[in-house]
Amino acid sequence: MANADCIVIQGSNMAECHPVAYQWVTEAKLRGATIIHVDPRFTRTSAVADKHVPIRVGSDIVFLGALINHVLTNGLYFEEYVRAYTNASALVSEDFADTEDLDGLFSGYDVETGAYDLRSWSYQSTEGGKVSGSGEGGSGSGGTVGEAGEEEHGGEKASRAAGHEHGAGGPPLDHANIAHDETLTDPRTVFQILKRHYARYTPELVEQLCGISREDFRYVADAVTSNSGRERTTCFAYAVGWTQHSLGAQFIRTAAILQLLLGNMGRPGGGIMALRGHASIQGSTDIPTLFNLLPGYLPMPMVGNHDTLEDYLAEIYSPRQKGFWSNADAYVVSLLKAWWGDAARADTTWAFDYLPRLSGNHNTYASVMGMIDGSVEGYFLLGQNPAVGSSHGRLQRRGMANLKWLVVRDLQLIESATFWKSGPEIATGDMRTEDIATEVFFFPAAAHAEKDGTFTQTQRLIQWHHKALDPPGDAQSELTFFYELGKRLRARLVGSTDPRDRPLLDLTWDYPEDAHGEPSADAVLKEINGTHLSGELTGKPLESYTQMKDDGTTSGGCWIYTGIYAGNVNHAKSKKPGRDQDSYAHEWAWAWPANRRILYNRASADPDGRPWSERKKIVWWDAETQKWTGDDVPDFPEATAPSYRPSPESSGVEAISGIDPFVMQADGKGWLFAPRGLLDGPLPTHYEAAESPVDSVLYPQQHNPARQLYPRRDNLLAPSAGEPGVEVYPFVFTTYRLTEHHTAGGMSRWLPYLAELQPEFFCEVSPELAAERGLTNGGWATIISPRSAIEARVLVTARLTPLTINGRTVHQIGLPYHWGVGGSGAVVDGDSANDLLGVTLDPNVSIQESKVASCDIVSGRRPRGAGLHQLVADYQRRAGVSTATGTQRLTAGVRPEAAAQTSAQERREEDE
Amino acid sequence: MSFWRNQLHGPTDPARDAAWDDPPPRKGFFTDTSICIGCKACEVACKEWNGIPMDTLGMTGTSYDNTRSLGASTWRHVAFIEQDADRIAAARASGRQLIDLGMPTARPALSPTAEPGTGSAADPLAQSATAPELPDFRWLIASDVCKHCTHAGCLDVCPTGALFRTEHGTVVVQDDVCNGCGYCVPACPFGVIDRREREGDQVAVKNEGIAQKCTLCYDRLQADQRPSCAQACPTTSISFGTLADMRTTAHARLQVLHAQGLTEARLYGADEDDGVGGTGSVFLLLDEPEVYGLPPDPRVTTADLPDIFRRAGWAGAAMLGTAAAAFLADVVTDAVLGRSGRKGLS
């Protein structure tokens, strides 16, 4: 980021939530970069930016779409880059129909399941027909490539939130023989489709739906375009302000399209920075704590679909596609070897059947509803405080109260460990301690300075942290806890002949321990790196994932981390100071993959392999040595010349042409249009949030038709614009964090030095809203949603601005979510903002919509005891909400023909 | 006389004045408020390192500032000031006036770290074609700290010697020497030092009644470490180094901002001829000092001591003279009038 000429921070309050990373923005600013903050609130990030642009929460696609339109209409895109490195010239199937034609739906929508059939979004094939997703085993004969087999429908993908699988590379395609029109004039080219799709995203629409003036839009448009091109680069940074929406993944896609058009991907000072929310959230998706992933973004197999290894591999990649995903079989077999050692053999199909299978979408919210409904009996909470930190706190606490057992491992007795005796529901009489049968086990946890291990941060840097002192009392590291748990479980099963116990008994579970019984974190990292299992290198760590084999001669716990232990050295421990090395600092920690600091950096050079400019050079083709070289590890096959063009028959790494910089994509190109990978549209399109008092004038369809809905009595939604009762919850609120606290407060509300800095839960309101509702600075306010009512101290501030949307005023209320009630020993407490939220999820990754919802606000404190329910129920009654409110997939105004057309097309495809 | 002048006002090397032989270069802070993100890491790092107890607990309703002010248990304080367009315009205009009066910008750029193309020594304002548009709103954020004055009133009035001048030119309280008399508290023109009281329902507090303030991490300096606040600052808003370097950096940064047309930027504490002989903590502010709760023209309470002594001396002499004259006159009168004996008592 320090190399950027312009930085747009949107969907993130980077200075407050990532103060340490913000040093690079400061550095860029001191070097003369323009810093722009687009955010509903004027925050500490805005305070140090050159420009703050207030935006209505949830309207980002309108704003970014208008920037795309501006760039396309005025010819401001980086033409050479776009032509060579993106899929602009690819032709899309004749079956594809856009939202413009279908009242806000894309082709392929199924009203019954609420999911899309993705086939009509496919590329056209040079072999005839379409290029389909994967695993259809098409032979390329005739015009039906890839349509012979069974395509996985969006509905099934959604049932396992398949979007997570693209953390290390794009979705699979059957092959890369895609029809193109290099003139970009064919109406079916991606380029022309893009133009049409965003044609109505104008500065006027931005003014109308985002509340951003035309002057402010112009300022951003000029800053971004004048700081992009050969000589200059612009960078975007986002965080959960973009992700936590019912169409969160699409927010980021919109920025990706813009950055590809401007030529800002794979170049110094370019890119889109995903700012992660915790110290190692990146690490916990790489080596996942997610229900639907295996390490390295390999999908979790699903019962029925992936009963055999063959079925599974066919699903995740096509041997005929381009790039490094085509070696996924080696990554899978090496993982199974790492986990099950000698039990993973060719004759046991590498112990593939030891892997558990998914039976549905077991995201965290579905699990909580499972607790309430009795299908989930036990729960481990590790560094997580859902009673405060997750959406719909009441639902979370009710779920936990219905468990058989609950294990809480934390630094403090957080609210999730004490909800049964001092939670808000005990105070309201909703729950009685004596009725709660959950057996709660609390284990004190070691803090990061009390254990060895790694953090993987936003930039994919894996950094080692050394143990500085012993944990106090009984506190243990997670590593010790789980190693010990595994040992005890295995000891209990010794001698078992039940086949279901084999996966546990055959597990490689033999890490060296130190004198205190602490297993070696070094040894775990070495196992993750992977090892040669045969030949003269037996026992030596792998140097690179390209050495992984599918024949059982290598092991490796996470293919993208391979190389971190190259040369038998733990490179996560590299800590050479920045002043002693060049600016890319390859000897500070280790970045996956291959210690590469900028992904897709082949794109920093022109098609002939020369840097686009001296100022922005990083890797280039050295004609003398016939190799790629430069200041970073080139993200390209080292000896593939820029002039190399593969034959149509080739596949895998060989199929990467000299001008295919996006080596993890199935066709080597940056995707302006995504024929696969997203479940709610190949192009981002604006929909209103699940709860919104605003009418989107773009299409009759108001909400994301593929969003995940949970229509339940305990999860009621507020009416949106056009529905009766919308005036009962007239205001928009958004939730966020403050620098002074850490998420649900377990690491800050118990610490005097942090607690005193922001001691009380507060709401931020504009002076205008304060006047309208009689709120006084420092006084109390009660905020009511269809889920609950909470009280907060009032901070009246001009940092919040009422916006004029569709000609009427929209007030936004800010709620930091760090406080909770009932934790034991906390220095400060207060009501939880997350109690107000309901559960509506993005279809791609099952993220909750927690950045925008509807509420009312009144002066004064909330009722105590049963009165709280009464208040919430009164509001529900006045608004007339029921489980049907806000849960209709299609908006009333959508023409029956539009929905019918998509169904008809689907039927036609079924017939074929 | 010149000894006393140096000791109490004007430019000087305070460590040498305090009789340190061959002291190291004077140390200080430069706090650049234009890049402060208000994270308060300085407040927390300071408390952690120095073992300072929790302060008053409660929301103030004053923007994001719940720390209130510097004090015995707050040695770094981050102020948050929300301003509207009128106030911003006034700040830019008042800064412009300072420049027109030949204030600090007139100095040449000295820092080799100044970025090319962002500032020029000759006439920084000529560089900027137009000043950036005035925003509708801004949020000033500034981390305040003890000024470690060249002429420190707290130190001058301390009767026990608990406050002393270190070899780094900083001012430090020895809590085991301080007797809690509190003379230093009103002697500080910035309101920095204070005696520690119990807060809320605290039954005991470390160093109760003892005067406390920033030590510029004297213990860390001894070990060649930076003060904890500067170490923790993620954006280099707080820099630490020799005071000469800090002043140079401050002037260079000021020039850059002025070249961008941001005439509201100005330095605070960088003038050796001010009422405290310049401070060891230099600040770059974006508005008048009062806006941040800083005195516009701080003056050490002991600055006038020489004058006071001189005048007291003269007054004493004059009184003596008058008395003598009166006595002599009496004698002369008596002699002239031929009176004798004592004056009446009535």
Q: A316-341: per-residue pLDDT in tens?
A: 887 777 887 778 999 999 999 999 99
Identity (one letter) of the amino acid at A589? A
User: What is the arithmetic mean of pLDDT over A518-540?
Assistant: 97
Identity (one letter) of the amino acid at B114? A
- B39/A52 touch (CB, cutoff 8 Å), yes or no: no
Contacts of B138 in chain A (CB under 8 A): 47
- In angstroms, the CA B8 to CA B1 distance is 11
Confidence of residue B346 (pLDDT cuts 50, 70, 90): very low
Q: Quote the minimal CA–CA distance from A382 to chain B in Å.
A: 26
Say if CB A318 and CB A135 are below 8 A apart.
Answer: yes
Tell me the residues of chain A between 789 and 818 that have a Cβ less than 8 Å away from chain B.
Answer: 793, 795, 797-799
- In angstroms, the CA A110 to CA A907 distance is 10
- In angstroms, the CA A325 to CA A313 distance is 11
| Mean pLDDT, chain A, integer | 93
Contacts of A46 in chain B (CB under 8 A): 139
- Interface probe for B, chosen from A25, A27, A48, A794 (most Cβ of B below 10 Å), is A48
Q: What is the pLDDT of residue B6?
A: 60
Given B36, B67, B235, which is nearest A23 (Cβ)? B235
- Interface probe for B, chosen from A757, A791, A796, A799 (most Cβ of B below 10 Å), is A757
Q: Quote the minimal CA–CA distance from A561 to chain B in Å.
A: 29
Q: What is the pLDDT of residue A146?
A: 31
pLDDT tens for residues B113-127? Answer: 434 434 334 444 444
- Interface probe for A, chosen from B30, B34, B37, B139 (most Cβ of A below 10 Å), is B37
Q: Given a cut of 70, is residue B129 above it in pLDDT?
A: no
Confidence of residue B234 (pLDDT cuts 50, 70, 90): very high
pLDDT tens for residues A204-213? Answer: 999 999 999 9
Q: What is the pLDDT of residue B134?
A: 87
pLDDT tens for residues B243-302? Answer: 999 999 999 999 999 999 999 999 999 999 999 999 999 999 999 999 999 999 999 887
Q: What is the pLDDT of residue A154?
A: 61
- B64/A758 touch (CB, cutoff 8 Å), yes or no: yes
> Which residue would you say has higher pLDDT here, B164 or B110?
B164
Q: Given a cut of 50, is residue B58 above it in pLDDT?
A: yes
Identity (one letter) of the amino acid at A744? A
Retrieve residue A208's tokens: 């109308």
ipTM comes to 0.92
Q: Is the dihedral of CA A282, A286, A289, A291 positive or negative?
A: positive
- In angstroms, the CA A472 to CA A520 distance is 19
| Mean pLDDT, chain B, integer | 87
Given A29, A757, A827, which is nearest B40 (Cβ)? A757
Q: What is the pLDDT of residue B133?
A: 82
DSSP designation for A846: -
pLDDT tens for residues A122-136? Answer: 999 988 888 877 543
- B55/A756 touch (CB, cutoff 8 Å), yes or no: yes
Contacts of A18 in chain B (CB under 8 A): none
Say if CB A295 and CB A168 are below 8 A apart.
Answer: no
Given B34, B41, B84, which is nearest A798 (Cβ)? B84
B→A contacts (Cβ < 8 Å), by residue, are 34-41, 43-44, 47-48, 53-61, 63-64, 66-67, 82, 84, 115, 117-118, 132, 135, 137-141, 234-236
The pairing of strands A812-816 and A731-736 is: parallel
A267 Rama sector, left if φ>0, alpha if ψ -120 to 50, beta otherwise:
beta
- In angstroms, the CA A336 to CA A355 distance is 9
Q: What is the pLDDT of residue B327?
A: 78
Query: Coil, strand or helix: which one is B39?
Result: coil
Query: Coil, strand or helix: which one is A213?
Result: coil
> Which residue would you say has higher pLDDT here, B172 or A314?
B172
Retrieve residue A360's tokens: 């549905």
User: What is the arithmetic mean of pLDDT over A86-100?
Assistant: 96
Contacts of A777 in chain B (CB under 8 A): 61
Cα–Cα nearest to B163, from B129, B192, B128 = B192
- A757/B44 touch (CB, cutoff 8 Å), yes or no: yes
Retrieve residue A604's tokens: 């920093």
- In angstroms, the CA A45 to CA A39 distance is 9
Given B54, B63, B137, which is nearest A756 (Cβ)? B54
| H-only helix segments in A127-247 | 154-158, 190-198, 203-210, 214-226, 240-243
Question: At residue A560, what are phi and psi to the nearest 5 degrees?
Answer: -70, -15
- In angstroms, the CA A35 to CA A45 distance is 10
- B139/A47 touch (CB, cutoff 8 Å), yes or no: yes
- B38/A739 touch (CB, cutoff 8 Å), yes or no: yes
In whole angstroms, how far apart are CA A617 and each of A230, A420, A601? 10, 59, 10
Given A47, A739, A759, which is nearest B40 (Cβ)? A739
Return the residue of A nearest to B57 by Cα. A756
Contacts of B61 in chain A (CB under 8 A): 777-778, 793, 795
Return the residue of A nearest to B38 by Cα. A44
Return the residue of B nearest to A741 by Cα. B39
> Any CB–CB contact under 8 A between A754 and chain B?
yes
> Which residue would you say has higher pLDDT here, A633 or A649?
A633
- In angstroms, the CA B199 to CA B203 distance is 9
- A757/B54 touch (CB, cutoff 8 Å), yes or no: no
Q: What is the pLDDT of residue A500?
A: 94
- In angstroms, the CA A174 to CA A152 distance is 13
Least confident among A95-104, A345-354, A381-390, A888-897: A888-897
Which positions ≥6 away from B2 have C-beta within 8 Å?
none
- In angstroms, the CA B275 to CA B293 distance is 17
- In angstroms, the CA A853 to CA A717 distance is 9
For the whole model, what pTM was predicted? 0.93
Contacts of B35 in chain A (CB under 8 A): 26, 29-30, 48
Say if CB B168 and CB B221 are below 8 A apart.
Answer: yes
DSSP secondary structure, A507-525, as one string: S-----B-TTSPBPHHHHH
Question: At residue B83, what are phi and psi to the nearest 5 degrees?
Answer: -130, 145
pLDDT tens for residues A583-612? Answer: 899 999 999 999 999 999 999 999 999 999
- B66/A47 touch (CB, cutoff 8 Å), yes or no: no
